[in-house]
């Protein structure tokens, strides 16, 4: 199947590009320089000229903290760009898969979030993504929410922790935010399995298996890295969100319930598998000095 991927240079875009061909797909990947999702005429032309059987939107404004000061930019891409894609795809009956985030939830739940639970984003990024979801739904597209994405080359939490662990003896990491890390390659496989289907629900959740905290995730990253080479890091201190203020508020709990996507035969692997692959790739590509 011919699949148009937007945001092709991002974490997810690169995974879709690398994983697609093995599933027999032809991936047409474009990023903002060749296809700006906010440019309706360009999107319409791309769909008409390329004639994809499906579109996967990996393009987004993903700076959670920066969005607090760049509201217009976040909304332009995450709401208006999503609307452009949804409208142009719907006009041509091309199925659209749009990726959204666990940060549409406020984090007050005490069990994993289901697709139909009420959303109540805490920051500008989350609000802009929530409005993008609404635009996609209005035009019959499918939203796939994911969480705590990491990828080879990132930039993600994994690359940040690898760098800090190389430089500092003590890391301080938030231990009171709970969620599920997700390897972009696993998310890409799930999206490729859904691409082109016309029998989908409006929303799915996909994250890797295993709820954790940023602190426990950091510890796993450092343990994994240490299997490859020595690090400066001796200790990872658990701190509270209050001790690490950020411009954007984040949900304290954003574990996603993946029952609905599992019912389609898509089983998310544990995040530890992706983490091992990404850490190995990082340390091979960028040898760490010590
Ligand atoms: N990263 C996470 O932890 C996380 C968690 C939950 C959900 N998500 C969602 O997952 C999806 C993929 O995230 P990601 O981490 O792969 O994002 P990413 O690495 O930031 O990639 C997004 C890509 O979209 C491009 N882009 C920005 N504006 C565009 C436009 N107007 N037209 C076309 N391309 C544009 C970006 O280019 P520039 O780099 O030049 O801006 C970038 O290459 C997003 O929808 C995100 O909201 C991410």
Contact 118, 54 (CB under 8 A): no
For residue 163, is it within any domain? no
Average pLDDT for 236-263: 97
Q: Is the CB of 59 under 6 A from ligand 1?
A: yes
Q: Please check the confidence at residue 286 and state whether its pLDDT lies above 80.
A: no
CA of 206 to the centre of ligand 1 (A): 16
**Which atom of ligand 1 has the smallest separation from the CA of 61?**
27
Task: Give the residues across from 239 on adjacent strands.
Answer: 174
Residue 36 CB-half CA count within 13 A: 8
Task: Give the residues across from 2 on adjacent strands.
Answer: 26
For residue 88, is it within any domain? yes
Q: What is the pLDDT of residue 43?
A: 98
Average pLDDT for 213-228: 97
Q: What CATH number is associated with residue 191?
A: 3.40.50.720
For residue 177, is it within any domain? no
Contact 267, 212 (CB under 8 A): no
Q: What is the pLDDT of residue 266?
A: 97
Average pLDDT for 73-92: 98
Q: Please check the confidence at residue 288 and state whether its pLDDT lies above 80.
A: no
pLDDT classification of 290: cutoffs 50, 70, 90: very low
User: For a pocket test of ligand 1, which of 149, 207, 268, 278 has the largest count of ligand atoms closer than 8 A to its C-beta?
Assistant: 149
User: Which residues are CB-neighbours of 202 under 8 A, at least 6 positions away?
Assistant: 115, 137, 142, 143
DSSP code for 92:
T
Q: Please check the confidence at residue 72 and state whether its pLDDT lies above 70.
A: yes
Task: Give the residues across from 96 on adjacent strands.
Answer: 55
Residue 213: closest CA among 161, 183, 255, 171: 255
Q: What is the pLDDT of residue 197?
A: 87
Protein residue with its CA nearest to atom 8 in ligand 1:
101
Q: How many CB atoms lie within 10 A of CB 137?
A: 15
DSSP code for 113:
B
Q: What is the pLDDT of residue 289?
A: 46
CA of 62 to the centre of ligand 1 (A): 5
User: Which residues are CB-neighbours of 176 under 8 A, at least 6 positions away?
Assistant: 213, 240, 241, 252
pLDDT classification of 285: cutoffs 50, 70, 90: low
Q: Is the CB of 177 under 6 A from ligand 1?
A: no
Q: Is the CB of 31 under 6 A from ligand 1?
A: yes
How large a percentage of the chain has pLDDT more than 70?
98
- Structural domains in the chain (count): 1
User: For a pocket test of ligand 1, which of 15, 34, 60, 203 has the largest count of ligand atoms closer than 8 A to its C-beta?
Assistant: 60
Q: Please check the confidence at residue 128 and state whether its pLDDT lies above 80.
A: yes
Q: What angle do CA 246, 250, 255 make, to 5 degrees?
A: 145
Average pLDDT in the chain: 96
For residue 162, is it within any domain? no
Residue 49, domain extent: 2-150+182-209+256-269
Report the predicted TM-score, pTM, of the whole model to 2 decimal places.
Answer: 0.96
Q: How many CB atoms lie within 10 A of CB 199?
A: 6
Record the tokens describing residue 56, joined without a space: 């996967």
Q: Is the CB of 70 under 6 A from ligand 1?
A: no
For residue 168, is it within any domain? no
Q: Is the CB of 185 under 6 A from ligand 1?
A: no
CA 84 to CA 137: how far, in whole Å?
12
Q: Is the CB of 81 under 6 A from ligand 1?
A: yes
pLDDT classification of 284: cutoffs 50, 70, 90: confident
Instruction: Answer with the residue of higher pLDDT: 286 or 11.
Output: 11
pLDDT tens digits for range 139-179: 999 999 999 999 999 999 999 999 999 999 999 999 999 99
pLDDT classification of 196: cutoffs 50, 70, 90: confident
- Count the residues in the chain: 290
Q: CA 142 → CA 85, 89, 226, 266, 287, distances in Å?
A: 12, 11, 40, 16, 40
Average pLDDT for 26-51: 97
Residue 224: closest CA among 267, 179, 176, 271: 271
């Amino acid at each position: 199947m011919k699949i148009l991927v937007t945001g092709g240079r991002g974490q997810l875009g690169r995974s879709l590009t690398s994983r697609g061909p093995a599933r027999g797909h032809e991936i047409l990947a474009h990023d903002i320089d060749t296809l700006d999702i906010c440019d309706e005429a360009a999107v319409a032309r791309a769909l008409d000229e390329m004639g994809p059987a499906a579109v996967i939107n990996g393009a987004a404004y993903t700076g959670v903290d920066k969005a607090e000061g760049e509201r217009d930019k976040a909304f332009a891409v995450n709401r208006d760009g999503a609307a452009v894609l949804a409208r142009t795809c719907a006009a041509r009956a091309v199925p659209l898969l749009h990726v959204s985030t666990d940060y549409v939830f406020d984090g007050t739940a005490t069990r994993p979030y289901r697709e139909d639970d009420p959303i109540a984003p805490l920051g500008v990024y989350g609000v802009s993504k929530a409005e993008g979801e609404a635009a996609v739904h209005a035009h019959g597209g499918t939203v796939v929410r994911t969480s705590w994405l990491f990828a080879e080359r990132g930039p993600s939490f994994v690359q940040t922790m690898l760098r800090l662990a190389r430089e500092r003896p003590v890391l301080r990491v938030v231990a009171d935010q709970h969620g599920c890390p997700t390897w972009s390659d696993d998310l890409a496989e799930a999206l490729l399995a859904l691409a082109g289907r016309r029998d989908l629900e409006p929303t799915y959740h996909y994250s890797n298996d295993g709820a954790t905290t940023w602190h426990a995730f950091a510890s796993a990253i450092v343990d994994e890295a240490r299997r490859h080479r020595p690090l400066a890091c001796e200790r990872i201190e658990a701190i509270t969100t209050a001790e690490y203020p950020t411009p954007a508020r984040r949900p304290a709990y954003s574990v996603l319930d993946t029952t609905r996507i599992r019912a389609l035969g898509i089983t998310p692997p544990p995040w530890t598998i992706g983490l091992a692959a990404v850490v190995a790739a990082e340390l091979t590509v960028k040898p760490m000095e010590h």
